[in-house]
Structure 1
Amino acid sequence: MQTVRHLLLAVQFFSRIPVTGRLAAWVGWSPELQRQSAAHLPGVGWLVGLWAGLVLAGTGWALQPNPWMPLIAAALATLGTLWLTGGFHEDGLADVADGLGGMVPPERALEIMKDSRVGAYGVMALVMALLAKVALTAGLVAVLQPASAAVLIGCVHVLSRLAPLALMRTLPHVGLAATSKTLHIAGRQLDGKGLLAGTTWCLPALWLLCQLHTPYLLPGMLTAGAVTTWRVQRWLRRRLGGMTGDCLGACQQLSELAMLLAALVTMERLA
């Protein structure tokens, strides 16, 4: 039952899915519960991925003869995930781009990242990330067809949410978080048990990806996600000496884009 409470708390924090009333009272809240709930971020990815997959497959079915179908389906699926999550991770990407886009000292970078206003670096990063996501998703729909692409996109949402947990496991928190709850998420390193819980959520996604057309797809995607996470980890350690809550969202977004790109390149090479 404790695992269910952690999952529901993660759903409440990382998405717009309501957990209210008596259910919210049963779940409760404490700094320790909030910290432990972060381990179930890939579980939230299942909900986001399912929603994106349904939108993608449904749009593909409705517009199948239309030559614009891949682009429309990709745009609507991306829009659907933004609505469901409130752009939580995208906001982190924009803040990190603002803070680390210029060559400023770590203290100044942390001040910029705390500012709720979005600057030029943040706008550019956000626009390019969303355009890349739509383009890569449309390419996968065109190559795989909507149903298979929906499965792949859903799995990417799950697997990419393991990347922030790797940061929480390997980097200390630096600076002040924007809110007290964010501090409880990112303020302490994730323990091995939490990382194991997050990895367990990813196992069904690995199995589903193995059922797709080629055995080369999964290794390429995992390598791309792992290398991207490793590079982000090294970059944050060098520039900030650790990570913030915004860094977790940025890492998830970059890992997601890397896995989508690896999947598209693999399928195009084998087509």
Structure 2
Amino acid sequence: MSEPSTRPVTFLAGLLAETAAMVRFWSRLPLPRLGPADDLAEPPPFARALRMLPLAALIVVAPVAMIAALLDHTDLSALVVATVTVVAATLITGAFHEDGLADVADAFAGGRTAERRLAIMKDSRIGAFGGVALAAQFVLRVALIADLLERFGGWAALLLVAVAPLARVAPLALMVLLPPARSDGLAKSVGRPETMALAVAFAVAAVIFLAVVPAVVGPAEALAAFGVALGALTALAAQAKRAIGGVTGDVVGAGTLLSEIGLLIGLSM
């Protein structure tokens, strides 16, 4: 049994390890071992560790925001800055979410049965619907970020920081609301998120969003952003339930991009 004086240290070491695990799960950022509780050989305790996802999201998006802020002080157009920003974000995440969106688009639009759609989602090749979805999301993100840069200048970088945690946490609700669509997929293997961990993550993400966004763009736009993102996730959840009977890791990845785009659309209204 641990001594009382060591319990806070052990708890903080655990939180640090969970944050590192979430950064590694959601990005390609090279993180060394952070403390004695950070075991690189063990898979992250996803169901509990996601409570640290908002902090991990801030770490992942920080380089992207810095690029946007720095390039905003050059003579480059907002469109060029936004394009470089989106490309940087994609490289940092390893196209993690983009891959999910492409698979979902191909499966939902190209398959006729749940079994066929799940098989398409496991295929590493990208079809026509996936290609269109990838192109559409890149165009939308670039255009929306360019619009924010033109309207708010360097403050747009701060908006990207505020959006990132919520865009990553909100789609995890699909893993609670829907059953796993397959018995061997990522959504099944990582486990159902712990209710308290998800509640903490969502609360922290919402606080970060509300601490920044209303002050920059206004309360109405912040509310619109919530509404558009919620609408996009609701539509995705309904379609996933109808098409494959539940949720997969690809669906959650697609939901992350849809949430981000929905939030950015609301901020641009």
TM-score (norm: length of structure 1)? 0.87
Q: CA offset at residue 31 of structure 1?
A: 5.5
Change (3 A) 1:205 1:163: same
Corresponding residue of 2:220: 216
Q: CA offset at residue 8 of structure 1?
A: 0.8
Offset from partner CA, 1:178-208 (integer Å, 9 cap, x none): 66xx6433xx322211212211331123211
Corresponding residue of 2:141: 133
Q: CA offset at residue 32 of structure 1?
A: 6.9
1:190 lines up with 2:193 in the alignment: yes
Contact residue 31 and residue 184 of structure 1 kept, 8 A: no
Secondary structure of the residue aligned to 1:118 is: coil
TM-score (norm: length of structure 2)? 0.87
Q: CA offset at residue 123 of structure 1?
A: 1.0
1:76 lines up with 2:84 in the alignment: yes
Secondary structure of the residue aligned to 2:125 is: coil
Larger deviation, residues 81-90 vs 157-166: 157-166
Q: CA offset at residue 25 of structure 1?
A: 6.8
Contact residue 97 and residue 257 of structure 2 kept, 8 A: yes
Offset from partner CA, 1:38-91 (integer Å, 9 cap, x none): 44333332123322221111101022xx5xx10011011101111111111111
1:27 lines up with 2:34 in the alignment: no
Q: Which AA in structure 2 matches 1:191?
A: E
1:10 lines up with 2:22 in the alignment: yes
Q: CA offset at residue 99 of structure 1?
A: 0.9
Aligned residues: 255
Q: Gapped runs of 5+ residues in structure 1?
A: 266-271
For 1:258 and 1:154, the matched residues in 2 are separated by 15
Secondary structure of the residue aligned to 1:200 is: helix
Contact residue 60 and residue 70 of structure 1 kept, 8 A: yes
The equivalent position to 1:236 in structure 2, one of 227, 231, 240, is 240
RMSD: 2.0
Corresponding residue of 1:246: 250
For 2:173 and 2:146, the matched residues in 1 are separated by 29
For 1:84 and 1:217, the matched residues in 2 are separated by 28
For 2:44 and 2:29, the matched residues in 1 are separated by 22
Q: Which AA in structure 2 matches 1:56?
A: A
1:108 lines up with 2:116 in the alignment: yes
For 2:192 and 2:174, the matched residues in 1 are separated by 8
Secondary structure of the residue aligned to 1:216 is: helix
What percentage of residue pairs aligned between the two structures are identical? 30
1:150 lines up with 2:157 in the alignment: yes
For 2:185 and 2:199, the matched residues in 1 are separated by 28
Q: Gapped runs of 5+ residues in structure 2?
A: 1-11
Contact residue 175 and residue 193 of structure 2 kept, 8 A: yes
Contact residue 42 and residue 159 of structure 1 kept, 8 A: yes
